Structure 1
Amino acid sequence: MYEKPFSLEIVGPDKVVFKSEATSLTAPGVDGMFQVLYNHAPLLAQLGIGRMTIKTVEGKDSDYAVSGGFVEVRNNQVVVLVDTVEAAQAIDVSRANAAKDRAWERLHNRSRDIDVERAQLAFLRALNRIRVAGRAA
């Protein structure tokens, strides 16, 4: 089955991560996962922490660990602006595990000056990176 492509651009804080045609984008919205296909209705959505998957016109899936940002869909042009983005195959799992352990320690050995929300988000981002890297292995 032929799936019609749309233009997709993913922009991280310091570079364009992806700029090509795609047939599908699955992303973690703050209210749950959503998928964009050809002729999707106009949309502006906020991203949460999770796995973003692109299906290229060649039929290949590419996974990314993302946290925060926005997706704009308009006239078969999709722009994703992300706070953090890392390709699955580029994730350093040992570094992600160390970040998870640090966040866990901060959450369970609380001192008065700990920013609990920041530690929780750090823990969730590290877990996400580990999960996304695990699927790529």
Structure 2
Amino acid sequence: MATTFHVELITPEKHLFSGEVVHVRAPGAGGDFGVLANHAPMVAGLGAGRLQIDFTGHKEEYAISGGYFTVENNKAIILAETCTRKEDINLEQARLQKTEAHKRLESAATPAEREEARAAVQRASALVTVAEHKHG
């Protein structure tokens, strides 16, 4: 049996998950990273992308954006700005959000507008990526 560790998944709106897992793969600000049981302590910034949580026998996927991932004493805390379960993503709506965000980015007049539009593109892209991803 695989060694597990405890994970908490939290957003500003709610506590999404608390339990024992085998592996977590997360979108770090500088690239994806994975965590197993007995990982060294760390704090990492999160980017937008696919969060995969592996349990014994099954996996769950989420689209997340922004936040922090901490690990210490066999416990990981994922504080995400946004987080949507794969099963809750409407692919057509996510594609529309991505198209609209690209339009806002193209028409942005100020640096602040460009940054907000860029973040919206990344959030929508994460939703589309997760919704389209096939296990395997």
TM-score normalised to structure 2 length: 0.91
- The 4+ residue runs of structure 1 with deviation greater than 2 A are 111-114
Q: Aligned-pair distance for 1:118?
A: 1.2
Q: Which piece of structure 1 moves more, 95-104 or 114-123?
A: 114-123
The separation in 2 between residues aligned to 1:38 and 1:107, in whole angstroms, is 41
- Give the alignment partner of residue 85 of structure 2, picking from 84, 87, 105: 87
SS of the residue corresponding to residue 98 of structure 2 reads helix
Superposed, 1:51-130 pairs within 5 Å as 51-56=50-55, 58-108=56-106, 110=107, 112=109, 115-130=113-128
CA RMSD of aligned residues (A): 1.6
Which structure 1 segments of 5+ residues have no match? none
- Tell me how far apart the structure 2 counterparts of residues 112 and 68 of structure 1 sit (CA, whole Å): 24
Provide the secondary structure at the position in 2 that maps to 1:84.
strand
Contact 2:108 2:117 in 1 (8 A): no
Question: How has the CA–CA distance of structure 1 residues 98 and 76 changed in structure 2, closer, same or farther, with 3 Å as cutoff?
Answer: same
Q: Which runs of 5+ in 2 are unaligned?
A: none
CA contact (8 A) 2:49 2:129 kept: no
What amino acid sits opposite 1:45 in the alignment? Answer: A
* TM-score, structure 1 as length reference: 0.91
Which residue of the partner structure matches residue 133 of structure 1?
Answer: 131
CA 1:88–1:111: 2 relative to 1, 3 Å: closer
